[in-house]
């Protein structure tokens, strides 16, 4: 039996003519998701909004993986859930396979939901303990009225096999499985209706380190086998490195940097991305000895009242280095392109390139003759270093 059983084969629009990865499967523009904050028990007053997702835009080509990374509370899950249309977006546009699904409802939304599935972070909480594995994995088929009972049973057995579980486990309950096995059950459930896009919300962060690689390998294998497109959410940059084609770094509801995966790790250009990257261990003692972690000051500000100007200004090491330029607190930096496919939302991103902090974060040697971070307006062309050349101005000397 094929995994496209029960009338869930891909629609023609998804398969015709054009090469697979040339097509944009998901396009998100200026997406906003605000949650109202109210006061009062009887007469609820609207006193503000949680700006969970605020003007997020990206394209996701078919068959690719976009890693979405950022600290807790920055809006990653809300972005994923809004794309799944579990929430009604406050503003913006979500186009899936050429169709605007932002305001879709009823049967049309139900049909679209079948094509976008989610894998959850916690394989313990996300599986109903009272249902058998067969019931859990087969639930989406039942909900969408796909196949007869016997066909559904056969398909569930096939799906268990695909994710590396014994098809005879059909009648067992979640508590009889380990964390890694439960996540495999979650993956099988997500695959049941033959989706095109999978939103994987921190799918390995609740698992033992020893199991994490197995689940990542499984997802990569399935992506190849079933031409899946992934939005892969993680809270640190180490997890998404090997699975993502591109990476979007989020801070307080915004994407602050969006770049091809290799570029982001070799030339992070937003001060926040540099800080995140500095925390990722590199398994090479020589490289690791050149690195220094940037500890960000303070907590993430409240998304109810995000800071004025650049949202990162209350914690930004670069702003401090540059003498606290006024622009950081008055002008909201929009994403701008600094190299092919590499967008950054920082007024002074050129100053990051070749800086001591960037070099220490990625483990590049620091020349002895260097002399402090280049001042604003100095010749530190991002493009030159992005192309792999040495920056025009020598980077800073190591600090004592």
Ligand X SMILES: Nc1ncnc2c1ncn2[C@@H]1O[C@H](COP(=O)(O)OP(=O)(O)OP(=O)(O)O)[C@@H](O)[C@H]1O
Q: Which residues would be at the binding site for ligand X (CB under 6 A)? A: 35, 50, 52, 70, 72-78, 235, 303
Partner from ligand SF4, ligand X, Mg ion, none binding residue 303, C-beta < 5-8 Å depending on class: ligand X
Reduce the DSSP state of residue 234 to 3 states and report it. Answer: strand
Using the Cα atoms of residue 360, residue 275, residue 246 and residue 183 in order, give the sign of their dihedral.
Answer: positive
Q: State the nearest-atom distance from the C-beta of 329 to ligand SF4, in Å.
A: 8
Annotate each residue in 259-298 with x if it binds ligand SF4 (CB under 6 A) or - if it does not, as one string: ------------x---------------------------
By the 10 Å C-beta count (0-12 exposed, 13-18 middle, 19+ buried), 17 is classed as exposed
Instruction: Give CA separation, 177 vs 123, 158, 202, 304, 340, in Å.
Output: 10, 18, 20, 40, 46
**Within 13 Å of residue 324, how many CA atoms lie on the same side as its CB?**
2
| Residue 333 interacts with ligand SF4 (CB under 6 A): yes or no | yes
Task: For residue 256, give the nearest of 150, 155, 353, 347 by alpha carbon.
Answer: 347
Residue with tokens 């220490």: 360
The radius of gyration of the chain's CA atoms, rounded to the nearest angstrom, is: 23
In this chain, which of 64, 77, 117, 278 binds Mg ion, going by CB under 5 A? 77
Q: For the window 339-368, what string marks contact with ligand SF4 as x by the rule CB under 6 A?
A: -------xxx--------------------
Contact segment (CB under 6 A) with ligand SF4 among 136-144, 178-186, 191-199, 313-321 equals: 313-321
Question: Closer CB to Mg ion, residue 77 or residue 355?
Answer: 77
Of 75-83, 93-101, 190-198, 221-229, which part binds Mg ion (CB under 5 A)? 75-83
- Shortest distance, CB of residue 56 to ligand X, whole angstroms? 11
- C-alpha torsion angle, residues 273, 304, 79, 124 (rounded to 10): 90
Tell me the closest approach of the beta carbon of residue 131 to ligand SF4, in angstroms: 47
Q: Rounded to the nearest whole angstrom, what is the least distance from the CB of residue 311 to ligand SF4 in the complex? A: 8
What's the token pair of residue 63? 């068959």
Residue 271 binds which entry of Mg ion, ligand X, ligand SF4, none, CB below 5-8 Å type-dependent: ligand SF4
Q: How far apart are CA 364 and CA 295, in angstroms?
A: 19
CA dist., res. 52 & res. 20, Å (int):
32
Residues of the shown chain interacting with Mg ion in the complex, contacts defined by CB under 5 A: 77
Residues of the shown chain interacting with ligand SF4 in the complex, contacts defined by CB under 6 A: 271, 310, 312-313, 316, 318-319, 328, 333, 346-348
């Amino acid at each position: 039996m094929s995994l496209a059983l029960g009338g869930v084969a891909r629609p023609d629009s998804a398969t015709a003519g054009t090469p697979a990865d040339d097509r944009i499967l998901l396009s998100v523009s200026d997406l906003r998701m605000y949650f109202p904050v109210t006061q009062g028990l009887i007469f609820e007053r609207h006193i503000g909004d949680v700006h969970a997702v605020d003007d997020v835009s990206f394209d996701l080509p078919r068959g690719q993986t976009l890693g979405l990374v950022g600290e807790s509370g920055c809006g990653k899950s809300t972005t994923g859930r809004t794309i799944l249309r579990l929430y009604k977006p406050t503003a913006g546009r979500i186009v899936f396979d050429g169709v605007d699904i932002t305001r879709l409802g009823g049967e049309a939304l139900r049909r679209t939901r079948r094509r976008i599935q989610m894998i959850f972070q916690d394989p313990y909480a996300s599986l109903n303990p009272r249902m058998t594995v067969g019931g859990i994995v087969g639930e989406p088929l039942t909900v969408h009225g796909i196949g007869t009972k016997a066909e559904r049973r056969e398909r569930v057995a096939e799906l268990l096999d695909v994710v590396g579980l014994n098809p005879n486990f059909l009648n067992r309950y979640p508590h009889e499985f380990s964390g890694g096995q439960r996540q495999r059950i979650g993956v099988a459930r997500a695959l049941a209706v033959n989706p095109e896009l999978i939103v994987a919300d921190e799918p390995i962060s609740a698992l033992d380190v020893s199991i994490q690689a197995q689940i990542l390998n499984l997802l990569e294998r399935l992506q190849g086998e079933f031409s899946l497109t992934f939005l892969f959410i993680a809270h640190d940059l180490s997890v998404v490195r090997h699975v993502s084609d591109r990476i979007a770094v989020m801070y307080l509801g915004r994407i602050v940097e969006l770049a091809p995966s290799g570029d982001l790790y070799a030339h992070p250009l937003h001060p926040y991305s540099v800080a995140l990257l500095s925390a990722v261990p590199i398994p090479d003692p020589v490289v690791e000895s050149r690195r220094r972690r940037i500890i960000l000051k303070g907590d993430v500000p409240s998304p109810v009242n995000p800071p004025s100007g650049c949202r990162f200004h209350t914690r930004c090491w670069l702003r401090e280095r540059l003498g606290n330029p006024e622009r950081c607190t008055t002008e909201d930096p929009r994403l701008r392109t600094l190299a092919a496919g590499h967008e950054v939302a920082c007024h002074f991103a050129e100053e990051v390139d070749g800086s001591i902090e960037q070099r220490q974060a990625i483990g590049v040697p620091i020349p002895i003759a260097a002399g402090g971070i280049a001042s604003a307006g100095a010749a530190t062309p991002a493009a030159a270093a992005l192309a792999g050349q040495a920056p025009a101005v020598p980077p800073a000397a190591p600090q004592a």
